[in-house]
Amino acid sequence: MDTPAYANLTSTFLNDIFNPATPDDPTVKYFSVAGRIDTVSIWHPFWFTKMVLDSFEEGYRASLRAAWEKEDRPNSSKIPLWAQEREWGNDGLVTIQSAKWGEFLGIMEGCDRELQKYHTLGC
């Protein structure tokens, strides 16, 4: 595993360094896809990060639900984000929520980050 590269994938690095130094180009059309895989083998390179992301998402959804219920929205007709199963999951490295950029083309089910690399080449 290329450990130094993972330091460049932190929220702090991306929000404070990469994004400000790399503004969107108005002449470029941006597209994104997300991958979602339910489980991975303990031998998979992203096993640990998958476990971390799954745990993070579970906690984040619980906090969104608690905030929603505290605001007395249970009678709302709009389905809250925490209750939309389609919006949650990850490919072992990136959550669906984080993967959405530009025009979101959808989710590749049963697809981890490595498989996405090969399916999206040339797009």
- Which structural domain, as residue segments, surrounds residue 37? 28-119
Kindly tell me if the per-residue pLDDT of 44 is higher than 60.
yes
How far is Cα 65 from Cα 59, in angstroms, rounded to an integer?
10
18-27, 72-81, 90-99: least confidently modelled range: 72-81
Tell me whether residue 46 is in a domain. yes
Kindly tell me if the per-residue pLDDT of 34 is higher than 60.
yes
pLDDT at 36: 92
Tell me whether residue 19 is in a domain. no
Tell me whether residue 45 is in a domain. yes
How far is Cα 79 from Cα 56, in angstroms, rounded to an integer?
21
Provide the domain count of the chain: 1
Model confidence at 114, pLDDT cuts 50, 70, 90, reads low
Tell me whether residue 97 is in a domain. yes
